[in-house]
Amino acid sequence: MAHSKDYSSISPSAKSLLMMKGYTQIPYAQQTAALVDGKEIFDLNFEDKDFFFWLRVMHFESRYWSIDQLLKQTDSKNILELSSGYSLRGLALCDADAQLHYIDTDLSDVIAHKQNMIAQLQLDKNTKGKLELLPLNALDSSAFNDVINKFDNGPLTIVNEGLLMYLNMDEKKQLCKLIHHTLKQRGGCWITADVYIKLPADKANYLPKSKSEAEFTQQHNIEENKFDSIEQAHAFFKEQGFEMVAEATVDFKDMSALPQLLKAMPEEARNSKVRPPKIQSTWMLKAV
């Protein structure tokens, strides 16, 4: 299947994400973030770490762990991660489980860079399980099926974190069709951290953005690609043949970024009785 859309324009955001994760206890994030050139696209000021900076860090930290929380509820030894960016979740899991076959995928430039990072830091010397890093455009059905066929028979868990907000509704449906077909054949589940809800109009500027970050958000229609509501997200996945069977519940008190966030929190936020809007959920979906 030919794809005219250039998804590689998304890839630089993965570097910004890695640099923020470098301030957390996420496995390998500190070591790999140290290899990233600080001149990245979002002009984020990594020197002036204000409240909103730590709010972002904690959001991405909790999103990462929410997937691991749901993975613990599965007994699958076959895991496919789509659009993994510079996350090394597969490496961390394969370090601990000799029975695991984990295929970590993203676009070719990201995968090549990540392989170089692993080699440079010799991070894979204690790997017990089978870890593969492979280039994949998740919407390329032929390439998608080729990757699926690398797994032995048995249930498959498909994971993604930070993909659906880059896909329009037709592309989301295309991805859902591929995943649904795969899970109906093999069994297993889909764990997605990408149930993002649009902010209300009066909260649209809740998180300040740099000029280049705002341009990136607009270029990729990120806000438009989010769901209108939790109800709409449920309805969408149901229409694609999925049922939500579990939702992650992350305890923010466990986040390593929390002390820095509290230290930087302005007094008005500290004393506010208004809870910030919930903008993201992580779901486990089964194909029905």
What are the chain's domains? 7-287 (3.40.50.150)
Of 129, 122, 39, 62, give the one whose Cα is nearest residue 92: 129
pLDDT at 281: 97
pLDDT at 97: 96
Rounded CA separation 29/33 (Å): 6
The pLDDT tens digits for 78-108 are 999 999 999 999 999 999 999 999 999 999 9
Band (278; pLDDT cuts 50, 70, 90)? confident
Rounded CA separation 42/212 (Å): 5
Q: In terms of pTM, does the model score above 0.75?
A: yes
Residues 120-130: what's their mean pLDDT? Answer: 94
| CA-to-CA separations, 161 to 68, 252, 257, 265, 269, in angstroms, rounded | 11, 18, 19, 27, 28
pLDDT at 95: 96
Could you tell me the two tokens for 27?
């496995």
Mean of the per-residue pLDDT values of the chain: 88
Rounded CA separation 74/85 (Å): 23
**Is 208 a residue whose pLDDT tops 80?**
no
Would you say 145 and 205 are in contact if contact means Cβ atoms under 8 Å apart?
A: no
Three-state secondary structure string covering 177-207: HHHHHHHHHHCEEEEEEEEEECCCHHHCCCC
Poorest-pLDDT segment among 130-134, 155-159, 257-261: 257-261
Poorest-pLDDT segment among 17-26, 85-94, 184-193, 229-238: 17-26
Band (71; pLDDT cuts 50, 70, 90)? very high
